Each structure stands twice: as structure tokens, then as C-alpha cells.
Amino acid sequence: MFSLAGKKAVITGGGSGIGRAISLLFARQGADVHIIEISEEQAKLVAEEIRACGGNVSLYACNVANQQEVQDTFGNIGPVNIIVNNAGIAHIGKADNTLEKDFDRIVNVNIKGVYNCLNAGIPQLRKSDGGVILNIASVAALVGISERFAYSAAKGAVIAMTLSVAKDYINEGIRCNSVSPARVNSPFVEGFIAKNYPGKENEIFEKLSKSQPIGRMAKPEEIANLVLFLCSDEASFITGCDYPIDGGFTKLNN
């Protein structure tokens, strides 16, 4: 089950964290993996891991916020079967203290970046007679989280784009879903804590871990397992859905 043999998969932000876990799992399941990263250096270690296990992988240095770079990259990749829009950045701030430059930065990567990959990737899915798009959203789009104004807005847009794409391309054999993780123990979260809470890293890590009713953060591999299912043929009847994967965060917190 869940074989991706013969499938060509594009994973943005595939060099670290959740993206790394997805890239490795997809390769183990037989996919021809194409990793898009802001810098090729960030993905080289993942590529080495994949090749060491006999998997196929290609790397592309590309800023997903730059439409021309994205168009050129997908043009070089050619027809694909799976697109995972994982690349994203974080921000702390409320509506009245979020700077315009920071809001624009979040929008450019987390919203426009997804749009750019959809715009360039859907024509390549058509060449394969359909396929799957999986967008990484967040529980921040589903519940109120303090001081995540721009990030929450952007991830809400990702879920809305997911529904729109699922509706528009259902008759072309293209499925589109999203997953909404809570906090994940990854370099993304570690960097976020280090940047915003210097000197309090251990305290904040513990606090964020316990904010999930299950008592810990997710492992990147746990997110990757759900992504694999939704991108596999076993999920062929699923489209237009968002799946919280959150240790009870959205439903069990009082």
C-alpha cells in the first residue's frame, strides 16, 4: 500500500523539517523526488540521504515568491504527478504591531509562493492526465493563536486556495487537499523560538509542547505519513479536505 512507484513528486521546502521528512518518505515509497529550496545547499544533505538508499532525487534552487523562477523551475521539471506546497515562513505579531514589510514577506512566501507553484504546476499535472496537490496549512488557520496575525491569515488563505483548486480541477483528475499541523519539533520551530525568545528557548519549547493536549510536539515523520496517504492512490476518493494533525489542539483545548 501507499506505493509511489512511477510517480514524479515536487516538494517545496523539501530540505528541512516537514519537507525533509516528506522527501525521504516519498523516495522510500518509490517516487522520483524533485526538491525545490531557496538554496540548493539546504537540500544537499537530504539528497545524499535519498541517494544512499537508492532513491532518485533532483534539486532546484528557487525562491517560490518569484513567479519567473517558479515557472522556469517547473518548466525544467516537466510533467509531474504530485505537488506538495510545503515552503513557508513564520512571524510573531498582532494586527497593530505587524510591520508592513513583515506582512508583505509572509504574504509573498506563504500565499504567493503557493499560488506561483499552483500556477506553474497545474499545467504540468495536466500533462500527466491529473495528479495530486497537497498544501501544508496550519492549525493557526482554524483556531485563534495569540500573536500570529499575519501567519494565521496566510495559512487561512492556503486552505481557501485548497478548496478552490479542488473544485476547479476535479473534472481534470486533479485532487487537492491540505493538512494543518500543530507545533512540530523541527528546525523551523527551533529557529522560530531562537529568534523570538532568545535566552528562553527551553522554557518556550516546553510551553509550546504542552499546549498540545497529547503532551508533545509532532514529529516531522508523523506529518509526512499523513501527506503520503493523501498523495497515494489509496486516497483517490479524497479531495477538497483539510486535515488537522494536531495532538488534539483544535478540538480538545478548553
What 3-state class would DSSP assign to 63? coil
Of how many residues is the chain composed?
Answer: 254
- Shortest CA distance to 231 belongs to which of 135, 137, 121? 135
Cα 96–Cα 99–Cα 105 angle in degrees, nearest 5: 130
Tell the burial category of 19 from Cβ atoms under 10 Å away from its Cβ (0-12, 13-18, 19+). buried
- Shortest CA distance to 33 belongs to which of 61, 12, 63? 12
Amino acid making up residue 85: N
Element housing 125 (H / E): helix 112-126
Q: Is-contact 137 84, C-beta < 8 A? A: no
Q: How far apart are CA 53 and CA 62, in angstroms?
A: 25
- Shortest CA distance to 11 belongs to which of 55, 1, 54? 55
Q: Which residues contact 37 (CB under 8 A, 6 or more apart)?
A: 12, 13, 14, 15, 43, 59, 60, 61, 62, 87
Please give the span between the terminal C-alpha atoms of the chain, in angstroms, as a whole number: 38
Catalytic positions, written as ranges? 151
